[in-house]
């Protein structure tokens, strides 16, 4: 299903931080909220495979209109 034009122009910047880290690091830029959910889950699965606990990570999301992202 095609969403409205305005929503198609939105981008989400996702950052992650481990409990003991001082700063967030960029996970990626995604075009939909569904992509964010998938990306977070994949990221956490990889960290679990490395022996880390999911609860040790926090995410930060920023929403931008296309053209506002200057990263």
Give the CATH number of the domain where residue 11 resides. 3.10.20
Domain that holds residue 29: 5-65
> Cα(first)–Cα(last) distance of the chain, in Å?
30
Element (H, E) at 45: helix 33-49
Q: Do the domain assignments include residue 34?
A: yes
Distances (CA, A) of 62 to 30, 34, 53, 58, 68: 10, 15, 24, 14, 11
More confident residue, 69 or 44: 44
Quote the pTM value. Answer: 0.73
Structural domain contains residue 71: no
In a domain, 70, yes or no: no
In a domain, 47, yes or no: yes
19-66 tens-digit pLDDT: 999 999 998 999 888 999 999 999 999 999 999 999 999 999 998 887
**Residue 64: both structure tokens together:** 């931008």
Question: How many domains in the chain?
Answer: 1
Is residue 4 over pLDDT 50?
Answer: no
């Amino acid at each position: 299903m095609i969403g409205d034009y305005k929503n198609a122009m939105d981008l989400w910047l996702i950052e992650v931080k481990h409990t003991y880290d001082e700063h967030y690091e960029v996970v990626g830029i995604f075009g939909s909220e569904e992509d964010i959910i998938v990306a977070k889950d994949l990221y956490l699965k990889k960290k679990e495979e490395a022996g880390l606990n999911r609860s040790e990570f926090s995410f930060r999301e920023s929403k931008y209109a296309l053209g506002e992202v200057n990263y």
